[in-house]
Structure 1
């Protein structure tokens, strides 16, 4: 038979009251409550506050309140024991959870009906173990979901009201979108952000937590992204400049390497001589892309070889071991060297506005808006229609041709035009067949 009693483990003033839960036959567990009492006012035999009359009114009131609290805790523990699930293991951990549930308004899973509690649970008990097609999700995906959860929490605080998981619907998502806009986040980023809550909240079904019926109606979106690139002529213009600042000179070399390897900055700026591989007398860069984990084998272009030869077989110096810091330094020096090289072609792009705290889209000189993305995009744009698209995609890491064409600002109409140009060229090069008639 299950019984609940209360004990003190010390005789010091303001002693903590412990809950003693017994199931008989040596099965007993003990955990502290949040209640305290003066041992002089405690009846150890009865396990309850003494019935005293000679004390000040506050003390008498406190003791009466304590009696009621302990009675409520006893009922709460016994009630949860009676209603326990068959799979529950009854031990000291279980008792501690029940006692904490008494003070917080319900057991942990019951509290997960509220979105803020569920998000905390998801961060600690779900996200570290999530898998996609049997494999652990990438660190970049984990980072994105943590960012989204932080944004949702900020949004909930801004609304100054508590939502349940089942409250998150299309209307809530629309309010979340407006909240993100107020933070100066670009539309393209917001389009990606608003679809993540659906993924996170959908998992609540596995915990038998109710979700909204129209959750699946929430859709992400993309907006037209500026496709900034530099031409081979512009690259040669930069190459001819000798920069006095060593970091500017290193940036020039990294730009050249990026132009001919097509890698993201996270892979480009971490290249090192250990990744160089010689196969049948030809030099390659062998790396695993950090974002996609795809292994790629990149042939070393002659312009890249010149840089390696100039640097005794080494790549330019690293800006920082921290890749985000390295990107920032690279971007700053990219703008510096392109401005010094007079690369001022106007290009549609975005520039951060400190006053409005958001990006402004307009035509700017290339040196104002160039960034590390230019390397991979220039490689793809420069080689498009010269090298078969699947070969370019194998280097850039794009999964689909549609994704690749969007990346370089092309569409399938461009493929049709490309075919037409190919036919025109083929017609011009064909030699007409001459037939000679023989007279009888």
Structure 2
């Protein structure tokens, strides 16, 4: 049997009216009803009495502020209406209590709050109001979402980014919100500022923090389109980014590749990694696509040997003709599959043995959590799978038309491609001069015309 009482806890002109639901001797629940009253208009059931409650976490009895049980005084019409409303709330909660208990439902503070919200016609929180639930919905619908190229389907990389974003939000909830779910409607300027500070305290880079804010906006705008309640401040949320200083572009020149080819290696794992490294510099693919190449990808078209593959990031089918050096690697036995992590580890060892050790200043990742740091180290320490695609693009730039190179590397625009290989304004000028020199020179020899003297003036 449940007992319901109403009470106030202050002497102010706008005191909150609380409901006290006693489920049993050891369970008493309190929640605000959403109604206010001037304490002078409150009629106590008894003299002011301090109610003691048990603090389960500290295992001792403490005394809370004075709680005055009672009802609104009856004189003014608005107070009569308020008492009628509270009596109605009491009756509805008692009825809901009986139904819930009969169905075996656990009565908690959240249950009580839900009944009050229903009574006050407040919009109930639905599953998709929860930020992490909506992120998961967005991930589940990735194959049908429009991407930046106006095509259907988000890339694997984008989906992975969203999964990491969801995990970051879950960690934020656990560390700052006692595990309580964040609602989409609560994503406002104040929330973004707190989230941003937390991310920086986790030692994330400026650009990573900016991407998280971009993801928040993407999810919230999508929710808005689907009639989920969002903050009115959503359009005022701004992302952040860091202006990049020109960075050292790490590539392997053809001379360095020759040194790697001739290096004396004894471990089978390093010999295999060297094959992947040299092949990668000749076909210009991302590490994940490179290491998935098998004999099935090697085809012959009109007497020409090619590697044909579908790029995982772009979903684009590309065919790369095999140079004699690439054919030599394949014909000596296609390297066996290894993980990207192992590949990155082994090729550093390969390049160290090959004495690719000139001092280079570039960004290097210290840990998975920390931002990149700029350090000067021997070049082999900066070698990763990324060097394959970048070396291909750099070494063949100016020798092969840029659109053809872009088709192989999978770059969307020439601007991105040129930034990728570290191309400068002066490089463009030198290349243009080289093309000018190949143009047929115009004949500028003066043409003289002989005029005969006729003797006339």
Fold conserved between structures, TM > 0.5: yes
Say whether the 8 Å CA contact 2:189–2:233 is kept in structure 1.
Answer: no
CA distance in 1, matches of 2:368, 2:163: 28
| TM-score normalised by the chain length of structure 2 | 0.66
Matches within 5 A, 1:62-77: 72=93, 74-75=95-96
Once the two structures are superposed, residues 238-274 of structure 1 have per-residue CA deviations (whole angstroms, 9 ceiling, x without a partner) of 1111310111111111111110111001100010110
CA distance in 1, matches of 2:292, 2:92: 64
Equivalence for 1:82: none
Equivalence for 1:110: 124
Structure 1 347/191 Cα, relative in aligned 2: closer, same or farther at 3 Å? farther
Deviation of residue 359 (structure 1)? 3.0
CA distance in 2, matches of 1:292, 1:318: 22
> Please, which of 206, 224, 233 is the counterpart of residue 213 of structure 1?
233
Unaligned runs of 5+ residues in structure 2 are: 1-22, 25-88, 100-104, 453-457
Is 1:151 the counterpart of 2:168? The answer is: yes
Say whether the 8 Å CA contact 2:155–2:312 is kept in structure 1.
Answer: no
CA distance in 1, matches of 2:95, 2:323: 77
Equivalence for 1:194: 213
Deviation of residue 276 (structure 1)? 1.0
Of 287-296 and 340-349, more deviation after overlay is shown by 340-349
CA distance in 2, matches of 1:355, 1:259: 26
CA distance in 1, matches of 2:387, 2:368: 26
Equivalence for 1:120: 132
Is 1:303 the counterpart of 2:316? The answer is: no
Deviation of residue 126 (structure 1)? 4.1
Say whether the 8 Å CA contact 1:168–1:215 is kept in structure 2.
Answer: no
Is 1:281 the counterpart of 2:298? The answer is: no
Deviation of residue 373 (structure 1)? 0.5
Is 1:269 the counterpart of 2:291? The answer is: yes
Say whether the 8 Å CA contact 1:348–1:361 is kept in structure 2.
Answer: yes
SS in 2 for 1:399: coil
Structure 1 355/230 Cα, relative in aligned 2: closer, same or farther at 3 Å? closer
Matches within 5 A, 1:170-189: 170-189=189-208
> Please, which of 378, 384, 388 is the counterpart of residue 371 of structure 1?
384
> Please, which of 412, 416, 426 is the counterpart of residue 403 of structure 1?
416
Say whether the 8 Å CA contact 1:287–1:296 is kept in structure 2.
Answer: yes
CA distance in 2, matches of 1:380, 1:165: 43
Say whether the 8 Å CA contact 2:187–2:230 is kept in structure 1.
Answer: no
CA distance in 2, matches of 1:355, 1:327: 15
Bigger CA radius of gyration: 2
Say whether the 8 Å CA contact 1:184–1:356 is kept in structure 2.
Answer: yes
Equivalence for 2:157: 140
SS in 1 for 2:360: strand
Unaligned runs of 5+ residues in structure 1 are: 1-34, 37-67, 79-95, 320-325
Equivalence for 2:60: none
Say whether the 8 Å CA contact 1:198–1:216 is kept in structure 2.
Answer: no
Deviation of residue 156 (structure 1)? 3.6
Equivalence for 1:430: 441
Structure 1 102/340 Cα, relative in aligned 2: closer, same or farther at 3 Å? same
> Please, which of 232, 250, 256 is the counterpart of residue 228 of structure 1?
250
Structure 1 412/437 Cα, relative in aligned 2: closer, same or farther at 3 Å? closer
CA distance in 2, matches of 1:278, 1:356: 45
Say whether the 8 Å CA contact 1:112–1:209 is kept in structure 2.
Answer: no
Deviation of residue 129 (structure 1)? 2.0
Equivalence for 1:243: 265
Equivalence for 2:11: none
Structure 1 226/159 Cα, relative in aligned 2: closer, same or farther at 3 Å? farther
Once the two structures are superposed, residues 120-175 of structure 1 have per-residue CA deviations (whole angstroms, 9 ceiling, x without a partner) of 32144443124323723334322211211221232244334775434423453344
Structure 1 128/103 Cα, relative in aligned 2: closer, same or farther at 3 Å? farther
Of 104-113 and 392-401, more deviation after overlay is shown by 104-113
Equivalence for 2:355: 342
CA distance in 1, matches of 2:384, 2:172: 31
CA distance in 2, matches of 1:73, 1:365: 75
SS in 1 for 2:130: helix
Is 1:381 the counterpart of 2:401? The answer is: no
Say whether the 8 Å CA contact 1:259–1:379 is kept in structure 2.
Answer: yes
Say whether the 8 Å CA contact 2:206–2:240 is kept in structure 1.
Answer: no
| TM-score normalised by the chain length of structure 1 | 0.68
Equivalence for 2:404: 391
